[in-house]
């Protein structure tokens, strides 16, 4: 028995340490995971109600086409229903795009460090990955454009970028889009879009009319607080999106996820509240960095990458002992940093307090 060659160098996704494991190992009563950019405020009560509503229907297959949700999302975005492709998380939309577009001999262009699933899925399809280093935490779009060659099928742009949090402004994104050959697909992964406060963040949906090679990814996992239900989507030009659809499993999104997402869209107040509190949280971490002369990237997401000038594992262990699971930057390409999901005010305060003692003792 042998798996295909492309799988051999890959390792399964390493999730953050599970809360229960840490509780047991360290004998802690309260452990908070701020490692996967989940919403610390959970999800809208409307979404919870929606989940209860469909519990009676679990014996039947979901609507594979997600018609109700599709109609609503299309209306919200002002696009046609057939321009949407729903996935088991936007992770799956990345998988579907790679599966549909890539073969051996092709390549993709991405930034590095960035969200690892672009690389992972491209490698499985036998494609080469051309990685262009970030500059000051930002995509180097000029270098990415230059990296495109006749074998390039997809360019992944992570905006805001995970793990730095930097966002790409409208002007830069537009001139990049103009410069990319028309037969190369540009994927704009906007997983943190709902948290963005930057004025110059590009409104990409209206660009679809002019750029049929653009696909925008959105998810219900982050600001909407539905990570465990696995639902996200891609939006692009109708004919192109329809041509990707056969690469999707027939029942890839569950009825529970569809229903929760449908109702979560109605609770704009919940979303706005999370966005405001997140921004205040980011500011707390930024002020801490200013006070101690430490570096952090200007994050437009719900996480912040802090450089504490000690190995990421040191900071990670310190926070773990205090009951906080964060992401060690050593695994993210930033060896002296940690990536912390912004928590509630109290959680942020507690973390900053820990960081203060850590920094002061160095
Ligand atoms: C979290 C994340 C996703 C994946 O989200 P799911 O919809 O839960 O699969 C995609 N892209 C980026 C950049 C992310 O950080």
DSSP readout, 21-55?
HHHHHHT-S--EE-SS---TT---HHHHHHHHHHG
User: Atom of ligand 1 at shortest distance to CA of 301?
Assistant: 15
Distance 180 CA to ligand 1 centre (A): 24
In whole angstroms, give the CA distance from residue 297 to residue 221. 23
Atom 5 of ligand 1: nearest residue by CA position: 90
CATH architecture entry for 45-265: 3-Layer(aba) Sandwich (3.40)
In whole angstroms, give the CA distance from residue 92 to residue 125. 14
Distance 323 CA to ligand 1 centre (A): 25
Whole-number pLDDT of residue 361: 77
Residue 16 has pLDDT above 80, yes or no: no
Q: Which of 34, 219, 254 to mutate to test the pocket of ligand 1 (most atoms within 8 A of CB)?
A: 219
Kindly report the backbone phi and psi dihedral angles of residue 104, in degrees, each rounded to the nearest multiple of 5, phi listed first: -60, 135
Distance 170 CA to ligand 1 centre (A): 22
Burial of 21 (0-12, 13-18, 19+ CB in 10 A): exposed
Distance 94 CA to ligand 1 centre (A): 9
Handedness of CA 327, 219, 175, 203 (dihedral sign): negative
Residue 17 has pLDDT above 80, yes or no: no
CB 137 within 8 A of CB 111: no
pLDDT tens sequence across 55-67: 999 999 999 999 9
What is the average per-residue pLDDT within 177-206?
98
Residue 122 has pLDDT above 80, yes or no: yes
Whole-number pLDDT of residue 235: 98
Whole-number pLDDT of residue 11: 87
Query: Taking Cα atoms as reference points, which of 109, 78, 281, 269 lies closest to residue 184?
Result: 109
At 19, list the tokens: 């809360």
Residue 18 has pLDDT above 90, yes or no: no
Specify the DSSP class assigned to residue 16: P
Residue 137 has pLDDT above 90, yes or no: yes
Residue 22 has pLDDT above 90, yes or no: no
CATH class label, 14-43+269-360: alpha beta
User: Which residues' Cβ are closer than 6 Å to ligand 1?
Assistant: 37, 89-91, 115, 158, 162, 189, 191, 219, 221, 227, 232
Whole-number pLDDT of residue 296: 96
Strands (E) across the chain are located at: 32-33, 84-87, 107-112, 128-133, 152-158, 185-189, 214-219, 232-235, 295-296, 303-307, 324-325, 327-328, 337-341
β-partners of residue 185 are: 154
What is the average per-residue pLDDT within 268-280?
98
Whole-number pLDDT of residue 12: 86
Atom 12 of ligand 1: nearest residue by CA position: 191
Is there a cis peptide before residue 251, judged by omega within 30 degrees of 0? no
pTM exceeds 0.85 for this model:
yes
pLDDT tens sequence across 221-268: 999 999 999 999 999 999 999 999 999 999 999 999 999 999 999 999
Specify the DSSP class assigned to residue 194: G
Q: Do domains 14-43+269-360 and 45-265 have the same CATH topology?
A: no
User: Atom of ligand 1 at shortest distance to CA of 222?
Assistant: 1
C-alpha count within 13 angstroms, C-beta hemisphere, residue 170: 11
* Alpha-carbon radius of gyration of the chain: 20
Whole-number pLDDT of residue 262: 97
Query: Taking Cα atoms as reference points, which of 283, 115, 110 lies closest to residue 192?
Result: 115
pLDDT tens sequence across 209-224: 999 999 999 999 999 9
pLDDT tens sequence across 77-115: 999 999 999 999 999 999 999 999 999 999 999 999 999
* Secondary-structure percent of the chain, ordered helix, strand, coil, rounded to 5: 45, 15, 40
Distance 227 CA to ligand 1 centre (A): 9
| Mean pLDDT rounded to a whole number for the chain | 96
User: Atom of ligand 1 at shortest distance to CA of 232?
Assistant: 7
User: Atom of ligand 1 at shortest distance to CA of 221?
Assistant: 8
Residue 313 has pLDDT above 80, yes or no: yes
Domain boundaries, the chain: 14-43+269-360, 45-265
Whole-number pLDDT of residue 312: 97
CB 299 within 8 A of CB 288: no
Atom 1 of ligand 1: nearest residue by CA position: 191
In whole angstroms, give the CA distance from residue 316 to residue 74. 42
SS3 205: helix
Distance 9 CA to ligand 1 centre (A): 23
- Please report which residue ranges of 265-311 form alpha helices under DSSP H: 268-292
C-alpha count within 13 angstroms, C-beta hemisphere, residue 325: 20
The answer for residues whose C-beta is within 8 angstroms of residue 107's C-beta and 6 or more apart is 122, 127, 128, 129, 130, 149, 151, 152, 153
In whole angstroms, give the CA distance from residue 21 to residue 18. 5
Q: Which of 159, 189, 253, 300 to mutate to test the pocket of ligand 1 (most atoms within 8 A of CB)?
A: 189
């Amino acid at each position: 028995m042998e798996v295909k060659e492309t799988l051999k160098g890959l390792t399964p996704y390493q999730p953050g340490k599970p809360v229960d494991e840490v509780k047991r190992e360290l004998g802690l009563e309260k452990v908070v995971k701020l490692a996967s950019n989940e919403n610390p405020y959970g999800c809208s009560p409307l979404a919870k109600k929606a989940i209860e509503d469909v519990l009676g229907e679990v014996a039947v297959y979901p609507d594979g086409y997600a018609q109700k949700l599709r109609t609503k999302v299309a209306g919200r975005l002002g696009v046609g229903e057939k321009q949407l492709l729903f996935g088991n998380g936007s992770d799956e939309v990345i998988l579907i795009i790679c599966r549909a577009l890539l073969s051996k001999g092709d390549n993709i262009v991405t930034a590095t460090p960035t969200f690892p699933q672009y690389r992972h899925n491209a490698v499985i399809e036998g494609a080469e990955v051309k990685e262009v280093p970030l500059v000051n935490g930002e995509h180097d779009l000029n270098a990415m454009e230059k990296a495109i060659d006749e074998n390039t099928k997809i360019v992944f742009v992570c905006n805001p970028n995970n793990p730095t949090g930097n966002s790409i402004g409208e002007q830069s994104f537009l001139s990049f889009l103009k410069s990319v050959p028309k037969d190369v697909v540009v994927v704009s992964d906007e997983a943190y879009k709902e948290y963005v406060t930057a004025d110059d963040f590009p409104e990409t949906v209206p660009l679809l009319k002019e750029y049929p090679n653009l696909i925008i990814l959105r998810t219900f996992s982050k600001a909407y607080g539905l990570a465990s239900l696995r639902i996200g989507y891609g939006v692009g030009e109708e004919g192109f999106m329809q041509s990707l659809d056969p690469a999707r499993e027939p029942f890839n999104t569950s009825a529970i996820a569809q229903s929760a997402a449908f109702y979560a869209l109605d609770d704009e107040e919940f979303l706005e509240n999370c966005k405001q509190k997140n921004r205040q949280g980011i500011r707390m971490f930024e002020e801490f960095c200013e006070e101690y002369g430490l570096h952090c990237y200007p994050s437009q997401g719900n996480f912040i990458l802090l450089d504490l000038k000690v190995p990421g594992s040191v900071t990670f262990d310190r926070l773990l002992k205090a009951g906080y699971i964060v992401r060690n930057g050593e695994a993210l390409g930033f060896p002296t940093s940690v990536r912390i999901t912004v928590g509630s005010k109290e959680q942020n305060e507690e973390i900053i307090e820990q960081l203060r003692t850590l920094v002061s003792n160095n």
